[in-house]
Structure 1
Amino acid sequence: MENNIEEAKQSIISKAPPLGGGGGSASIAVFAPATVANVVCGFDVLGFAVNEPGDEVVMRMTNTPGITISKITGDNGRLPLNPLKNTVSVSVQHYLNSIDRTDVGVDIELHKKMPIGSGLGSSSASTVAGLFAIKTLMGDETDSSTLLPFAMKGEEMACGHGHADNVAPALMGGFVLIRSYEPLDVVRLPHPPGLWCAIVFPDVDVPTREARQIIRNKINMKDAVTQWGNIAGLVSGLFMQDIDLIGRSMQDVLVEPVRSMLIPDFYYMREMAMELGAVSFGISGSGPSVFAFTKNEQTARRVTAKLQQHLTKIGIGSYTYVSTINDKGPRVIG
């Protein structure tokens, strides 16, 4: 991780404007999108961004050096205002340190527009929104991908593991493959324009740290070969814009069999989704959110409606989202 940050630092410093002013306006509001990580068979190496939900950060330059967090909404008091313990402020501080701008003062408002602990990259969306905001305020015109190591630092604080399969698509948009972590090598993948995603978040608690702890540390060769073939098939389907190949490649024999036990009626919901016309179904990130790929919006909405209806029937509240893949990543909204 330290090597990745040093490489990002050198890239930013070499291309950034001269020090002096903050660059840009005195305040900015940024939206960053939710993401689906793993994409069933691609544990820790695949992810994509969606149009909704997401988080918003409002950032203002101040006359006092340092970072403050003046407001957090939508979190029910769960997130810390202490800038040393919040993923947004910590990652922003890493960025400012990298460009030798510890003299800068910023105040942050974080508005959670998506559920925490949903498996949809809640911490990633907040962190990316903050990093994109400070980058813009500082007049930094380097590519957004240079922010990735700093975003991973936020992930490390949030869940104990600095993986990139949420923050990379949130930051870069689209569908991404993390080919390597040391050195960090992220590849943006194409995808069929007609690919729709149906997401259902059952309102149950599946903490990311605990979800990682139940995963097996050792696997047999037969399962590994099956998983490699599915990842290769999924990536091939994306390049070939073959939704059917994408669908039949999205099978996980390593992680899903364990994590599915934490999600009520997971296999029954998968059966329902496939019968309704979905081409694939799986867990988003560490769960409990589940998602399905479909060939059109109508099928996606039918899937979310039926799954939500089922969850209500068994006494579980839920949230639903329907989206194409978001190719833009974070954006300025004010």
Structure 2
Amino acid sequence: MKESIKVFAPATVANVVCGFDILGFAVNEPGDELLMKSATKPGVRIISIEGDEGKLPLDPQKNTVSASVISLLRHLRRDDVGLEISLTKKMPMGSGLGSSSASAVAGLFAANELLGSPLSKMELLPFAMEGEALACGHGHADNVAPALFGGFTLIKSYEPLEVIALPVPKLFCALLYPHVDVPTRDARQIIRSKVLLKDAVTQWGNIAGLVSALYTNDYGLLGRSLKDVIVEPIRSILIPEFDYMKAYAMENGALGFGISGSGPTVFSLYHSVDDAQKVLTSLQKHLADKGIKSNIYLSEINETGPTVI
């Protein structure tokens, strides 16, 4: 067994506009870094957490990263193993960027590597979903799957769990995180439990169109498919200046614009990195003029998932 390992796990964009709970993709920036060391004393311990402003628990049973690893070791019947975790959060929490997913994936990937890779990434996925359930109450895979596999992922079904890797065209993703509070639980509660059949049919067409566009590199179809008639009209109410930001992005080169996860982060996709940077800079200034601070990130799609650093 190796003595130590340091890994990076990426942030993710879940839902991808029309794919509520079934689509997601990973980005190169931001993400989490984790240092894991083997220890002589059995059990999983969190040595330190940086970048969380003291918000995350150090109790290994209550923290997403350690709880996921504990579950993995229990499954492998390795109660003889001792692991020490130092986590560095390099992404905002509660932002809609899959912060808890990145932590869980980083921990599981590191532990699996230290143990000689007994499980495949697909076999690690249920443990990452357990961590996600601990963090936000729902064990969905649209964040953890792309964080683990990289690229675009489609959750074809949950029972049984089936995840499909989709092609990754050349795209630039612009992310803007406004400093407003939109808790995941609150964002889920306002979603309608029933939808009109005509809206469902429209949404199914958009999802199918988006998947087809990824396979055929049809950027025009991709842009026409990045539309949500069910969730976005409701959730966008919680995000200040959403309508302005979307209109500005779409008028300045964006293929599509939407909410990352449950928000408040918004994202847009581009052919051109220059267009993406221009929109990010302009929208950040617009929010600042409204008294709203924000973080911005510009990244290509991450195709690898977690990596050793």
Verify same fold: TM over 0.5: yes
* Unaligned segments of structure 2, at least 5 residues: none
Structure 2: distance between partners of 1:233 and 1:55 = 32
* Unaligned segments of structure 1, at least 5 residues: 1-22
The DSSP-based 3-state class of the residue aligned with 1:178 is strand
Question: Which residue pairs with 2:150 in the alignment?
Answer: 173
Structure 2: distance between partners of 1:143 and 1:96 = 14
Question: Which residue pairs with 1:204 in the alignment?
Answer: 180
Structure 2: distance between partners of 1:126 and 1:191 = 24
Question: Which residue pairs with 1:243 in the alignment?
Answer: 219
CA deviations on 1:124-153 (whole Å, 9 max, x unpaired) are 001100000000000015422211000000
Q: How do residues 116-131 of structure 1 correspond to structure 2 at under 5 angstroms?
A: 116-131=93-108
Point out 4+ residue stretches in structure 1 off by more than 4 angstroms: none
User: Does the 8 A contact of 1:87 with 1:157 survive in 2?
Assistant: yes
The DSSP-based 3-state class of the residue aligned with 1:209 is helix
The DSSP-based 3-state class of the residue aligned with 2:109 is helix
Question: Which residue pairs with 1:114 in the alignment?
Answer: 91
- 1:258 and 2:234 aligned: yes
Structure 2: distance between partners of 1:312 and 1:306 = 10
- 1:327 and 2:303 aligned: yes
Q: How do residues 83-122 of structure 1 correspond to structure 2 at under 5 angstroms?
A: 83-122=60-99
The DSSP-based 3-state class of the residue aligned with 1:116 is coil
Question: Which residue pairs with 1:7 in the alignment?
Answer: none
- 1:164 and 2:120 aligned: no
Structure 2: distance between partners of 1:137 and 1:279 = 41
Structure 2: distance between partners of 1:145 and 1:246 = 27
Letter in 1 for 2:89: K
Residue 25 of structure 2: which of 48, 52, 55 is its match? Answer: 48
Residue 230 of structure 1: which of 201, 206, 210 is its match? Answer: 206
User: Does the 8 A contact of 1:33 with 1:54 survive in 2?
Assistant: yes
The DSSP-based 3-state class of the residue aligned with 2:153 is strand
Question: Which residue pairs with 1:19 in the alignment?
Answer: none
Question: Which residue pairs with 2:8 in the alignment?
Answer: 31
CA deviations on 1:93-134 (whole Å, 9 max, x unpaired) are 111111110111111111000000110000000110000000
Identity of aligned residues (%): 63
User: Shift in Å at residue 248 of structure 1?
Assistant: 0.9
Structure 2: distance between partners of 1:232 and 1:104 = 45
Structure 1: distance between partners of 2:234 and 2:257 = 16
- 1:134 and 2:111 aligned: yes
Greater shift after overlay, 138-147 or 312-321? 138-147
Question: Which residue pairs with 1:299 in the alignment?
Answer: 275
Question: Which residue pairs with 1:61 in the alignment?
Answer: 38
